[in-house]
Amino acid sequence: MLDNFWMTRHGETLIRPEYFDQDDEENVARAIIEYRERYRISPSDPDDLMVMAGGNGTADLIFDIFEMRDESDTHLASDISIQFAKEQAAKLAVLEGIDDINRGDLAKVLERMKAAIAVGDNLFNSGIDPVRDADKWLYNYWQNKIHTGWWHVDNLLEGGLAGGELGVVLGPTNRGKTMALVNIGYGAAALGSGKNIVHFTHEARVEQVARRYAARMTFRFARQDEDLENYEDELIEVARRYIPGKIRIIGGTRMTTVELENHLNRLRGEGFNFDLIIDDYPDLLQPPHRYNERRFELSAIFSWCRELADQFGVPFWGATQGNRESLSKEIVTAQDVAEDIGKANIADVIVAICQTREEEAADRCRLYMAKVRDAAKKLLFAAKYYGRSQAIITTGVVQLKKEEKDA
């Protein structure tokens, strides 16, 4: 900590006074940090440091570390500092988590441990030069993108969502948000992509979502009065020919973010290497932390979804409800997100389902690209909307009215 160069580059974000076990060590560490906050440099005179420490039985330690600084290999000290910080952060997480354990809040305990383990991980990330490091980003930019299966949307997104990106399907009540997610899962698993999908459902039963996927594959729902063995054979044959990817559906009402992440880790451990995460209603997840206001919880949930996508290196698609006004609007925009507009700020892509009653009767809808990072926004695509077979198929671009362009 007396090495000014090392503290400037790494130590200020790594070292906390409470990491030190002895009172005099903690006092000296705090004094160094306070000295740096005041003068923007590490102390070079032991007398200055003693003044900052205010005595408190620290004189011997202060003179010892100044003497050690002159005689020791500070490079070695800096090398082991990250491991020291991780270990001490983990100890603190355990101690601070005792009350959480007694309250039964295990999710908070796990969050503390994850934060402790991550201490120092980003210290040596020096970033990239967009010109000199072009080979590190240019050729891989499109490789991990996952198709939605909607040709016009994929064309706009240059192949779909990339790993670490968050896509949100927005729409009023009963306007096909889950149906849209099933189409995204189907498009990712079908020929041309062949990706593995994990689809979490909190509203519908697992069997209902499976029935929707089957309807999208066979272009019809199974009926109770038909020969279900023949339907099963048809479903298996269609999947064998046209669906090289695998789809895993997991249900759970009031699932916590920790439980969802544990499901994903278990799937990876079992050898199911998923390429895309879908969640039918992230708003229903229990957030990693409790907040006084619901809107803060929703922002935390969607931020967590994006971080999870980045952690696993895959895209994440979810759905969220539009507000009451969106029920009567021809164009649903990002401003129509219910409860918390912060969700719109976090998402990389927002696809809004727009459908009038006349369009519903005619098996039609429109997909409005309410938000797209690094691409043209405010594009509107016409689509066929077959609720009886769970298919949404884009057919072309719709010309926006002037007032809609200006909105």
162 and 304 both lie in a single domain? yes
The confidence band for 376, taking pLDDT boundaries of 50, 70 and 90, is low
Residue 40 tokens read as 């923007």
End-to-end CA distance of the chain: 54
The confidence band for 378, taking pLDDT boundaries of 50, 70 and 90, is confident
The confidence band for 180, taking pLDDT boundaries of 50, 70 and 90, is very high
One-letter amino acid for residue 254 of the chain: R
Q: Is residue 376 part of a domain?
A: yes
242 and 365 both lie in a single domain? yes
Number of domains, the chain: 2
What are 316-341's pLDDT values in tens digits? Answer: 999 999 988 888 888 998 888 877 78
236 and 287 both lie in a single domain? yes
80 and 197 both lie in a single domain? no
Query: Is the pLDDT confidence value at 140 over 60?
Result: yes
Distance set, CA 252 to CA 249, 282, 292, 359, 390 (Å): 10, 12, 25, 33, 22
Q: Is residue 20 part of a domain?
A: yes
Q: Is residue 26 part of a domain?
A: yes
**To the nearest whole number, what is the mean pLDDT of the chain?**
88
Last residue of a domain, one of 102, 117, 132: 117
157 and 112 both lie in a single domain? no
CATH number at 77 reads 1.10.860
Choice between 293 and 359, residue whose per-residue pLDDT is larger: 359
Choice between 235 and 343, residue whose per-residue pLDDT is larger: 235
**What average pLDDT score do residues 84-89 get?**
87
**What average pLDDT score do residues 176-186 get?**
96
169 and 246 both lie in a single domain? yes
Choice between 77 and 150, residue whose per-residue pLDDT is larger: 150
164 and 271 both lie in a single domain? yes
The confidence band for 368, taking pLDDT boundaries of 50, 70 and 90, is very high
Q: Is residue 241 part of a domain?
A: yes
202 and 336 both lie in a single domain? yes
Q: Is residue 128 part of a domain?
A: no
Sign of the torsion angle spanned by Cα atoms 165, 187, 381, 139: positive
Closest CA to 343 of 294, 286, 405: 294
**How far, in Å, CA of 385 to CA of 160, rounded?**
21
pLDDT the model gives residue 75: 67
Helices (H), 161-227: 177-189, 206-218
Q: Is residue 170 part of a domain?
A: yes
The confidence band for 101, taking pLDDT boundaries of 50, 70 and 90, is confident
**How far, in Å, CA of 302 to CA of 318, rounded?**
9
**What average pLDDT score do residues 48-75 get?**
81
Q: Is residue 133 part of a domain?
A: no
156 and 259 both lie in a single domain? yes
**What average pLDDT score do residues 366-386 get?**
88
The burial class, CB within 10 Å (0-12 / 13-18 / 19+), for 98 is: exposed
279 and 338 both lie in a single domain? yes
DSSP 89-100: HHHHHHHHTHHH
Q: Is residue 140 part of a domain?
A: no
Give the domain extent around 46.
4-117
Beta bridge partner(s), residue 97: none
CATH number at 219 reads 3.40.50.300
